[in-house]
Structure 1
Amino acid sequence: MPFEFQGKHVTVAGLGVSGVPAAKVLHGLGARVTVVNDGADERARAQAAELEALGITVRLGDGDTLPDGTELIVTAPGWKPTKPLFTAAGQAGVPVWGDVELAWRLRRPDSAPWLAVTGTNGKTTTVQMLASILKAAGLRTAAVGNIGVSLLDAVTGDEEYDVLAVELSSYQLHWAPSLRAHSAAVLNLAPDHLDWHGSMEAYAADKGRIYEGNHIACVYNVADKATEDLVREADVEEGCRAIGFTLGSPAPSQLGVVDGILVDRAFVENRHKNAQELAEVSDVNPPAPHNIANALAAAALARAFGVPAAAVRDGLRAFTPDAHRIAHVADVDGVAYVDDSKATNTHATEASLAAYESIVWIAGGLAKGATFDELVAGAAKRLRGAVLIGADRALIREALTRHAPEVPVVDLDRTDTGAMLQAVQEARRLARPGDTVLLAPACASMDMFTNYNQRGDAFARAVRELGA
């Protein structure tokens, strides 16, 4: 039975990009809405004033107490399950939904199906590729979820869609028990956000929720057995298929690469003998291995929805990646300078380092509890040198000492934003023609910069100064 909101007391946990629209939608549906928020800074007060003008109650500075009479909580995805608010809700038998669950419940009977994507890395790029492919097929679509159009806007607004390309984080999936996608993909799994989930097993289980109830295809990464294990554990609709993607030659029911061609052996007649050419590797921008994997996952979801092969090619050609994702900035004196500031964890950086043969690596920042031994050991043969910046650079330096002692290391004892210019200058000194100077920090940026965008911009400015 659909949830009836009229007259119900709903508590919205958290202001911000999801809380404010959720509160407005629920208020418009006739619910009695109370918003609780931990902080009471200037931004929170402004948002509170906006909601209070509509007749919505807002309690700032108290996000732990369950308001009397609460019948449902709709939470911002980042709020930890261990918060006292949710403990009290559990004791009182009050259900907790996230913004994704709310959006799913508010869909109209004839609303667009969801093609959903999660994974430790590559989600945004894959969803944007998928949306580009769907548009090339002439379908009305949007990239939604963590990016682009708000999911609530997509399901409650006037715009009509044929299908939605949906990016979902582990946080969002944790709070979305009813989600049942047309098809879904888990791109990869590596330790991340374990402080939130409590363990790798809990993190993986939340990622695996994306497969529950899938109708047509569960797309997994052949190179990452953990993703296939999640498919095996999922309770799906009868007839739903497991579809793998691989950078190698694909087996039946897989998409892969043969002689520089992306091919489909899943959504073709007689897949044991036949394959369908989809695109060339050169159609993927940039054609780094991990990005080709993203393209294959996007293609698999599109093909599960019935998209023709030509639209896969046209959509990949039309796709332009967001800034700071393995973006070529310039060539200076025969050395390529590449900005992958978005590589904020070791898993993303591992993929970035694998894309180049000879690298001067700029790394460091806030480690978020990560260790770097496995990353450095795997990349050691590719490293011409390393330049380290940021608060936790010593952790990377120690891993380099253990696993790549012959690699020259410049350790910049600076955490100011101007350190990036010096880092690029030191990298230039270490580099030789044919090398790539790669900013792939393997760390968060907030010790030195507002976010990874500002860090990447600083790198690009420093590179441009080299060529001036």
Structure 2
Amino acid sequence: MELSGRAVCVTGLGVTGPPVVHALLAKGARVTVVDGRDDEANRERAEELRAAGAGVGLGAAAVLPGDTGLVVTTPGWRPDSPLLVGAAEAGIEVIGDVELAWRLKPAEQVWLAVTGTNGKTTTVRMLEAMLRADGRRALAVGNVGTPVIEAVLAEPSSAEYRDVLAVELSSFQLHWSDTVRPHAAAILNIAPDHLDWHGGMDPYAEAKAKIYGPGTIRVANTADPVVRALAETRGDPGAPLVGFGLGTPRAGELGVVEDLLVDRAFVADPRSSAEELASLADVVPAAPHNVANALAAAALARSVGADPGSVRAGLRDFAPEPHRIAHVATVGGVDYVDDSKATNPHAAAASLAAYPSVVWVAGGLLKGADVNDLVAGAAGRLRAVVLLGADRSRLREALAERAPDVPVVDVDRADDGAMAEVVAAAAGLAAPGDTVLLAPAAASMDMFVNYAARGEAFAREVRALAG
């Protein structure tokens, strides 16, 4: 992609924007970055980027320069933003940071991509561990620390270069990606999320499906009918379709046989042979949705020839990210588990399915999500529920209708002592053998800076309870 001397406008000064600006400047582009927020943090970033050679427009000055030949947008900007709409109407190409990275990457670098409503970070981290165990120079990139654009700029002869990237891709990034074609790509699951950004469920699903580029090996969750339909109808029909699921695998799939993870796709004869990859004991924690993540990662690793032993070693080396079904403590025979990252109903349902008897801690900002199916599906395993947060009334209504016999405690406060009251109430409701599970099904910003702060508050109160 020729960028020298080209006028490029970058929208957004968040996490993705500055790395994109620096990459474009390194390629000789004339760069202007714009952001509608004119706050202290953005002004500091603006000064750094001006010193590097970029133009910056904040607030009212966040307008498209007249000589712009290309717009690179970041995930925070919605497609209906006036600047992006105006650029498209003027015939100016608008792409995302991932599309830019794809066009700039070394030809020999292999991308293995992952998307889905939930489980993306866990899966790319598992994949990275498997690839490294196999001796590959691999790196997990995207929303896991290293921006994709940074990972493609190293020269192949340098020590910083990575042969294989495990790329986490959001629906926002995929919306603005048109030529990305990973070697193999997995869609983990599809559930309603970010519908305000995309304008509905169908556009959201279509954005996810763009991960299956021409020639891309399609890895798809066989238990999710939306995912399977997307793989069959939106991917390249000439590329292999590899299913994964928790049942016994058929030819061309990865699955589970008794307590073993088994491959019947990347073997010499899928009709008559199979390869043992790992055991359920190698997956920590071995919750059903986490086993599915492991199978997706294994399929991607096997697509580039990773040895079965490397899959097992990678799973054993893998350390889960914080606040994802993390065991905090056992107090009085009751397990306390922090899954604060379960910020939507789909993620909370997967978390609840991992435990037979639960005192559920839920609530926060539901962002318009429907929780009736979530409550109905979990009703049989709920011992009690403790609610907190701005939208707890909607959860309370769903519980009254779908699980009327389940005791509910409503914590009607949002100060620093709220979580202490939540944990104390949950402890009072739990019996030995139960799990007190923080799986809020909602965002955290009504009471906490982010989901991590919510999880840390929960863990802190649990540790205090344990003494």
Q: Which residue of 2 aligns with 1:40?
A: 38
Deviation at 1:343, TM superposition (A): 0.2
Deviation at 1:63, TM superposition (A): 7.1
Residue deviations 1:370-427 (CA, integer Å, cap 9, x gap): 1211000000010000000001100000000000000000001112232111101000
Alpha-carbon distance in 1 for matches of 2:179, 2:61: 25
Alpha-carbon distance in 1 for matches of 2:461, 2:190: 34
CA contact (8 A) 2:140 2:167 kept: yes
TM-score (norm 1): 0.97
Q: Which residue of 1 aligns with 2:391?
A: 392
Greater shift after overlay, 41-50 or 63-72?
Answer: 63-72
Letter in 2 for 1:86: L
Letter in 1 for 2:110: P
CA contact (8 A) 1:173 1:206 kept: yes
Q: Which residue of 2 aligns with 1:11?
A: 9
Alpha-carbon distance in 1 for matches of 2:75, 2:61: 14
Q: Which residue of 1 aligns with 2:351?
A: 352
Task: Map residues 1-400 of structure 1 onto 2, 5 A cutoff.
Answer: 3-62=1-60, 65-110=63-108, 112-157=109-154, 158=158, 159-215=160-216, 217-236=217-236, 238=238, 240-400=239-399
Alpha-carbon distance in 2 for matches of 1:45, 1:234: 42
Paired residues, what number?
Answer: 463
Alpha-carbon distance in 2 for matches of 1:50, 1:267: 48
CA contact (8 A) 1:14 1:63 kept: no
Deviation at 1:235, TM superposition (A): 4.5
Alpha-carbon distance in 1 for matches of 2:371, 2:234: 32
Secondary structure (helix, strand or coil) at the match of 2:426 reads helix
Alpha-carbon distance in 1 for matches of 2:22, 2:327: 42
Letter in 1 for 2:325: I
Secondary structure (helix, strand or coil) at the match of 2:432 reads coil
CA contact (8 A) 2:23 2:150 kept: no
CA contact (8 A) 1:184 1:214 kept: no
Residue deviations 1:287-317 (CA, integer Å, cap 9, x gap): 0000000000000111111101000001001
Unaligned runs of 5+ in 2: none
Alpha-carbon distance in 2 for matches of 1:147, 1:444: 19
**What do you get for the CA RMSD once the two structures are aligned?**
1.1
CA contact (8 A) 2:57 2:63 kept: no
CA contact (8 A) 1:37 1:62 kept: no
Greater shift after overlay, 368-377 or 264-273?
Answer: 264-273
Letter in 2 for 1:434: G
Residue deviations 1:235-284 (CA, integer Å, cap 9, x gap): 4284x210000101111101000111000111112211211110000100
Letter in 1 for 2:125: Q
Deviation at 1:65, TM superposition (A): 3.0
Alpha-carbon distance in 2 for matches of 1:337, 1:349: 15
Letter in 2 for 1:24: H
CA contact (8 A) 1:63 1:85 kept: no
**Structure 2 vs 1, CA of residues 200 and 175 (structure 1 numbering), >3 Å: closer, same or farther?**
same
Residue deviations 1:14-58 (CA, integer Å, cap 9, x gap): 112111111112122111111111101111000110111122110
Greater shift after overlay, 48-57 or 371-380?
Answer: 48-57
CA contact (8 A) 1:36 1:62 kept: no
Alpha-carbon distance in 2 for matches of 1:222, 1:52: 49
**Structure 2 vs 1, CA of residues 64 and 214 (structure 1 numbering), >3 Å: closer, same or farther?**
farther
Alpha-carbon distance in 1 for matches of 2:321, 2:429: 29
Aligned-pair identity (%): 58
Alpha-carbon distance in 2 for matches of 1:303, 1:28: 35
